[in-house]
Structure 1
Amino acid sequence: MSVYFAGRGLACALGLDVAASVAALDGDAPVRMVDLDDFGRFPYRPIPFDMAAWYARARTLIERVVAEAGGNAVRHAPLLVASSSLDVGAAEANPADFIPDCTAFAQRIAEWLDWRGPVFAVATACTSSINAILAARDMIDAGSADDALVLGVELGNTFTLRGFAAMQLLAPSRAQPFGATRNGLVLGEAVAALRLSRTHSRWRLAGGANVVDGTDPAGASHEAVCAMAQRTLADAGVDAASVSLIKAQAAGSPGNDATEAHALRSVFGPDVAVTSFKHVMGHTLGASGAAELALLTASIEGGVLPRADYAFDDALGCALAEHLPRSRYVLVDILGFGGGHAAVLLQDCEAPDA
């Protein structure tokens, strides 16, 4: 059974909806410098939308994004809430309002949305949204649902920033995916919604895979990246030569960028075009799979890709593409803590060779 992306919504550092985010790809998204006491001062990419109360801001953003994706029309369907930090920001702002239960935030969101279908919380670090998409696809494939809504939520808190700073993973100024002088990540906020359906539309979810290799709990594995790509291709029944664009993790980490680049080249060869969004929107952790997929599909439809104004590391062979290739199949991968290596393969049903 074929599963398609029937709707998308996004709020991120680039803008408060999909169209605004695509239009800002060549601009400069807001950056806020955050003081982390003894750790130092680091850049952060927030959503340009301010409200004093954490939950009120979260609710407003979530309702906007779900409406943009057309999610209100499928309130009977499964809702999968994907996040790595959940509502820890609310605990920092007002501990009295916080419920220390990993499913409580998903249930709170369901109440905000007046959701009538089953609700699931998915928390697998940075791969959360991709794994939620794969789970939603399986539900539709199995015939237990006609539609599903995946909601990626990653909103401001200092707990996450301090954790990354303690591991010395944050860049002091900017992220440079595959850059010659890359020196760390820049985190950011995002709320993204993807509506999956049996109904035919431009973007088909052709395949996907999740490979866990805990050899390095905070880093990527060459073997696991290769296995992730190969299993995704096998799941879709597509060969590597059919893929002409990859949306890579490429967060700006010195080690992980190199591991990912070399593994992807070993599977897809040197000619496949590669892009990344983390230098323009920040690394949005558990929301990144949904957020970057929403932005990628809209970017392709608009004929644009984000550009980078820094020098690339020639040793990686993965300079970010400036122009869109003609592509029927696009690979989207996300790598995460705990050894998660997850990907989906999209088929553009309106591509010239489709």
Structure 2
Amino acid sequence: MDGHGTGPADRSIAVVGASCRLPGGISDLEGLWRALSGGHDLITEVPADRFEATRFVDPSMPRPGKSYTAAGGFLDDISGFDAAYFGIAPKEAAQMDPQQRLLLELAAEACDDAGIAPEALAGSDTAVFVGISDHSYGALQMLMTESVNAYTMSGAASSIAANRISHFLDLRGPSLAVDTACSSALVALVQACQTLLAGTGRAALVGGVNLLLSPYHYVGFSQASMLSPTGRCRSFSAGADGYVRAEGGGVVLLKRLPDALADGDRVHAVIVGSAANSDGRTPGLALPRAQTQEQLLREVYDRAGVHPDDLVYLEAHGTGTPVGDPIECEAVGRALGSRRTGGDLPIGSVKSNLGHLEPASGMAGLFKALLVLRHGTIPPTLHATPPNPHVDFPGLKLAPAVESREVTIGARSVVGVNSFGFGGANAHAILAAAPPAAALRAEAPAAAERPLVVSARSREALTEAIRRTADRLASAGPDEFYDLAYTACLRRGKHPYRAAVLAADATGAAERLAGLAGGGAPQDATVGEPGTDGAAASAAADPVTGPAGPGGPGGPGVA
């Protein structure tokens, strides 16, 4: 392993952009970290606008045609969509599966997070791999055949979930949907890493999405006794009684590490190994096999040159099912825990906070792993006590992280992420910390007044973008301003409505932007909007409150 805790640098994959929408109003990695580090339980009941719970749910007893639970992790808004931003007519947008809409937003936000202008990817061999498995929206449309139109089939097809991203960004690499049930997103990640390492693409957008739109899946999983009657994912616990459904999604932008370093990209984390396999024939289709899970782990860690002692944390699949948890722990313990010469291996599951995002669950696990590396802290796994008596945790040298725990992230430290599908498709990824910042860029030039540009696709969105940028700058450290200004001016995409300020530091830039947002016209600040000839025309700041397009800070409509 080299100094970045990876194998050969040319075999490592950099995560340069990330975006997410998760239960509890989480719209970025910082929000996810606040929820995880605070030990927040984000499970609620199905919203009234999804389906009539009283018709399909009976928690008093198991009954045919009924779900025994209405618990889940839900997004705040699944209907809002800035169709104009993506050049989609309202009539077509109405027929699009909301999962397609969400993925478009997340892809744009991941590029924005990476500081990569979408036009820089246009025409390139950038690949798109999307984990998705639910078809509820299309099925519900087909129940009302009078509303079926020319956009229905493309709006409902899983393949189009990936293809829309490629179409919008004009990407020419492989573009496909991956469905391996609950491991879909992490299997998509494995496919993307293999594509990049094969040299058939220079970048890849990888995502997973899941929305809970229909009552019928609740009924089906209840009839299979897979869902938790108590409404919580009790990973590694004696009270484990099934999983809780959840919705959300995430997208990451990947490059080979040497390419990311050469391009001057900010690197969230480095994927030093990934692999997938299948359980093959087991006593039942939905029953996992410890031996093949163990084999996958041994092979991916040996191939990456990572010793189990270098593993500071493993984000388990950890759904909280009576069968799945003991088998996963047995595999992890045999492959990794028992081979450690130091202390027990900390394990945990983000599903205890968010619920199980099913095909998108690998994204949530990936983001948690990335945050553990960033903060050097393992957040607590909820509902994990008392420990499952069917798992020999001491013998397997495993330690469920039931309390927040600091870990030392050294040059060789890694975090693992497990993801399994109920048809037997297994996937694993190994993450290492990003290279030191000094290796990514030369020392910033001496302090001087520098321009900072904010842009958007409407006047309303520009006003909101100015406010959000001012808030970000107000909290920026003294050494961040040069990078923020450089990225805003030279890397991020430029939209027609723009504002610019000149400032010597983040505080000054924040004050000037706040003045613009408040309707003033401070010195060294200006606002421009498209002229009739296509050129930007200077205009006084005219704040208009209203939506800034989808997403959180830096999302579509806010660049």
How many angstroms does 1:65 deviate by? 2.0
Deviation at 1:129, TM superposition (A): 1.3
Corresponding residue for residue 337 of structure 2: 269
1:31 to 28, 44, 47: 44
- 1:186 Cα deviation from its structure 2 partner: 0.3
- Residue 225 of structure 2 is matched in structure 1 by 168
CA distance in 1, matches of 2:296, 2:335: 10
Q: Residue 180 of structure 1 contacts residue 313 of structure 1 at CA under 8 Å; is this kept in 2?
A: yes
When residues 115 and 21 of structure 1 are mapped into structure 2, their CA distance, relative to the original with a 3 A threshold, is farther
Match of 1:282 among 335, 355, 366: 355
The percentage of counterpart residues that share the same residue type is: 23
Match of 2:364 in 1: 291
State which drifts further: 314-323 or 212-221: 314-323
SS in 1 for 2:40: coil
Q: Normalization by structure 2: what TM-score?
A: 0.58
Distance in 2 (CA, whole Å) between partners of 1:245 and 1:108 is 36
Residue of structure 2 aligned with 1:326, choices 399, 408, 416: 408
CA distance in 2, matches of 1:59, 1:84: 12
- CA distance in 2 between counterparts of 1:244 and 1:306 reads 14
| TM-score of the two chains, using structure 1 as the length reference | 0.89
CA contact (8 A) 1:16 1:48 kept: no
| 1:89 equivalent in alignment to 2:171 | no
Listed as ranges, the gaps of 5+ residues in structure 1 are none
Q: What residue is the counterpart of 2:18 in the other structure?
A: 8
CA distance in 2, matches of 1:263, 1:314: 16
2:69 to 30, 38, 41: 41
Please give the secondary structure, in 2, of the residue aligned with 1:106.
Answer: helix
Matches within 5 A, 1:1-354: 1=10, 2-14=12-24, 15-25=26-36, 26-33=39-46, 34=53, 35-36=56-57, 37-51=65-79, 55=96, 57-70=98-111, 72=118, 74-75=121-122, 76=124, 77-85=126-134, 87-93=135-141, 96=148, 97-98=152-153, 101-111=157-167, 113-118=168-173, 119-158=175-214, 159-172=216-229, 173-198=231-256, 199-200=260-261, 201-214=267-280, 215=282, 216-269=284-337, 271-302=344-375, 303=377, 305-315=379-389, 316=391, 317=393, 318-321=399-402, 322-327=404-409, 328-349=413-434
1:102, CA displacement in angstroms? 4.3
CA apart distance, 1:250: 0.5
Q: What is the rounded CA distance, in whole Å, between the counterparts of 2:278 and 2:78 in structure 1?
A: 37
User: For 1:289 and 1:312, how far apart are their aligned partners in 2?
Assistant: 26
Does the residue aligned with 2:228 lie in a helix, a strand or coil? coil
Structure 1 distance, partners of 2:255, 2:178, is 19
CA distance in 1, matches of 2:165, 2:43: 26
Which residue identity is paired with 2:366? Answer: L
Residue 81 of structure 1, CA deviation: 1.4
Checking the alignment, whether the CA contact within 8 Å between 1:12 and 1:281 is kept in structure 2 is yes
Deviation of 1:293 (Å): 0.5
Shift of 1:188: 0.6
Q: Distance in 1 between matches of 2:296 and 2:106?
A: 30
After TM superposition, the runs of 4+ consecutive aligned structure 1 residues lying more than 3 A away are 33-37, 52-60, 71-76, 98-102, 108-111
Moved more, 159-168 or 129-138: 159-168
How far the C-alpha of 1:184 sits from its partner, in A, is 0.4
Q: Distance in 2 between matches of 1:46 and 1:202?
A: 26
1:59 to partner: Cα distance:
4.9
Distance 1:93 1:109, change over 3 A: farther
Deviates more, 1:178-187 or 1:121-130: 121-130
Residues matched between the structures, number:
349
Aligned CA RMSD, in angstroms, stands at 2.5
- Distance in 2 (CA, whole Å) between partners of 1:165 and 1:274 is 28
